Amino acid sequence: MHHQSIAFKPLQFPFPPRLHPPNAIPSRRLFPLHLNTTAYSPCSASSSRSFHIPLPTHPPRSLPSSNSTKNAALKTVDVATLGNLCVDIVLNVPKLPPSSKGARKAIMEQLSSSPPDKQYWEAGGNCNVAIAAARLGLNCITIGYVGNEIYGKFLLDVLRDEGIRIVGMNEEADVVNSPSASHQTLLCWVLVDPLQKHGFCSPADFFEEPAFSWMSTLSEEVKRGIKRSRILFCNGYDFDELCPGLILSAVDYAIEAGTSVFFDPGPRGKSLLRGTVEEQKALRHFLRMSDVLLLTSDEVCGTSFH
């Protein structure tokens, strides 16, 4: 599926990006987007639908010029990803699970009772973004949580082999005070039927709260990782793991540090539109403050963010 990129603000690095640009990164500034027009839509002119992005109701923000040179000097990481570190387990099945939540949960629990052979394991989620960027020669880190079990160790080995450093989000106090079940590496079972249709089952689908809802603050190590990065990449699946308030803290800290924010709502975009008050607030904040919004053409043509 083809992806489209909508730039909200001038990017703070040359493209293609140099690993260590010598000049200061300029202050970011907003430029107006025109509502109810097709000028900014990648859809054909004959389409009756358009992609609507609300303009901020507050004046454009900018960083003090005295911070620009200081922040630029700290940027030693090209791309940092936030959250969504998971292991995909890809299995062939005679048929996809039924749509009912209870049936899918039963199948997932049956599959989870005995770990399949490692040949079916893959690094998933935002690991793919980091790996792709690293293979392009960029310096990358991943910010997120990986558990201390076989799946977590597998994920750490994959990232290490790709030259990607992980910055853990957990604090020791959190680990001690939280139940062990909430500290397991997130899994996604990718089920493929004989017609190559896919179905997905993840423990996060059945949580009433984000998987790592015990996380409440950004550690100093996480802040340092964001501050040293030129780009912070986030996606909609972050909301399956992290509380909206914590995600917004990371975004706001990136803005303060002069780090560009890239956001891919993905399939979660629609559910965030209809989600809790906190999720809707977080989505609006992303739309206002992101430097780049990443969408498929289908998402651009079929979704209206209000």
Instruction: Provide the pLDDT for residue 69.
Output: 54
pLDDT mean by block of 10 residues, the chain; 306 residues: 46 43 38 34 32 42 50 85 94 85 82 85 94 97 92 94 92 47 82 88 80 90 96 95 95 96 91 92 93 85 58
On whether residue 198 sits in a domain, the answer given is no
On whether residue 223 sits in a domain, the answer given is yes
Residue 251: domain span: 77-85+125-171+210-303
How far, CA to CA in Å, does 262 sit from each of 58, 100, 169, 230, 293? 21, 34, 19, 10, 6
pTM equals: 0.74
Instruction: Provide the pLDDT for residue 72.
Output: 63
How far, CA to CA in Å, does 183 sit from each of 28, 127, 144, 151? 37, 18, 12, 12
Q: CB–CB of 71/258 below 8 Å?
A: yes
On whether residue 218 sits in a domain, the answer given is yes
On whether residue 94 sits in a domain, the answer given is no
Q: CATH no. for residue 285?
A: 3.40.1190.20
C-beta neighbour count of 193 within 10 angstroms: 14
Q: How far apart are CA 142 and CA 245, in angstroms?
A: 20
Neighbouring residues of 138: CB distance < 8 A, sequence distance ≥ 6: 17, 19, 78, 79
On whether residue 237 sits in a domain, the answer given is yes
On whether residue 103 sits in a domain, the answer given is no
Domains held by the chain: number: 1
On whether residue 6 sits in a domain, the answer given is no
On whether residue 164 sits in a domain, the answer given is yes
